[in-house]
Amino acid sequence: MLVTRQKVLRRFWYATLPLSALADGPRAFTLLGEPLVLWQDGDGRPVAMRDRCCHRTAQLSRGFYNDGRLACGYHGWAYDRTGRCVSIPQQPDSAIPSGARVASYACEARYGYAWVALEDPLQPIPDVPEAAMPGFRRIEQFDERWDCGALRMMENSFDNAHFSYVHRNTFGQYDQPKPSKYELWPTDWGFESESIVPINNPPHALRITGDPNPVTTRHLRNRWFMPFSRTFHATYPSGIQHVIFNCATPIDDGSIQLVQLLFRNDTEADCPAQALIDWDRAIVDEDRAILEATDPDAAVDTRRRVEFHMDSDRPGLLMRRKLMELLEQHGETEAHR
């Protein structure tokens, strides 16, 4: 699926950069092939605009903050959060041309990130109840670029069959390759799923799972939010809930900005945040290595290209079918190489 060729994907929210990354000045970001500048106004609210000054087309991401506005680093032309030019220092007494403006986009702060929609969003930003639930702590894990397709990453998130192989050095049971089955419940804008997965529980993972046994289980209640966000909600026999939220933000057809947050119903004394980060990091690196070895152009329209599938691929097939329905509803067909 070549995401930059599907206009409807512009109508969803995507996590971009941490708000903390914008504190000292504007930052460049590319979303669905669109070069953006992200910045914070005088009230600390994130702003997303086209990364070109309307004067001499300099990148505004090379500019600076000036009294709650974004100033171009070339000639100092300043813009407000709507993209309107409000100051031309070289002509302080002249009226600013009405057409002196830069395209701006919907931008909101949520979960510590700036979320952007390039066109009128079809759905709100995905809801993660644990973010506001008493008894849960939030751990910032990472946001980084991966060279893989957004759909590939989402499919992998619901693929129980890869655990025994990709994760054989962490939690996967290499000698038990038959994957646990998923129960699936389609929703209007995604699906919910449930599965119980046995995993290896080596000594260094005991504080992660809260289970002293060498093998434990994850009771997974996962959700997919169309098009490229999901929650992984694992409950261990100990009662510990390990909830991961991801947004696979499409930079272009072959790369994503992967944002990952973790929510836990325990305390720092129970399991230090760094131990959790290190444990998940090893697993994430295993996923990244294999996903970056895949073709990012996953077919959602099986009439154009056939990929062989197994019974355990049901979540991914449902994902593709719903994305195909979305394209058809908006008068689009899947573009391909």
Q: What is the pLDDT of residues 104-153, one digit of tens each?
A: 999 999 999 999 999 999 999 999 999 999 999 999 999 999 999 999 99
- Which residue intervals of the chain bear CATH 2.102.10.10? 11-117
Q: What angle do CA 70, 75, 81 make, to 5 degrees?
A: 20
d(CA 154, CA 158): 7
User: Helix, strand, coil proportions of the chain in percent (round to 5)?
Assistant: 25, 35, 45
Q: 85 vs 4, 79, 100, 109, CA distance in Å?
A: 29, 4, 6, 23
CA separation (Å) from 173 to 56, 148, 161, 216?
A: 58, 26, 11, 11
Task: Determine the Cα–Cα distance for residues 30 and 251; give it in Å rounded to an integer.
Answer: 5
pTM to 2 decimal places:
0.93
- The full DSSP string for 161-190 is GGHHHHTTTTT--TT--SPPPPEEEEETTE
pLDDT digits (tens, 9 = 90+) for 4-59: 999 999 999 999 999 999 999 999 999 999 999 999 999 999 999 999 999 999 99
Burial of 7 (0-12, 13-18, 19+ CB in 10 A): middle
Strand partners, 100: none
Residue 312: per-residue pLDDT:
66
Q: pLDDT band for position 315 (50/70/90)?
A: confident
CATH class of 129-329: alpha beta
User: Measuring CA to CA, how many Å separate 136 from each of 122, 164, 333?
Assistant: 29, 30, 42
Percent of the chain's residues with pLDDT above 90 = 79
How far, in Å, CA of 118 to CA of 10, rounded?
5
pLDDT of amino acid 306: 65
Q: Please tell me the CATH code under which domain 11-117 is placed.
A: 2.102.10.10
CATH 3.90.380.10 boundaries in the chain: 129-329
279 to 209, 225, 242, 291: CA distances (angstroms): 11, 25, 12, 19
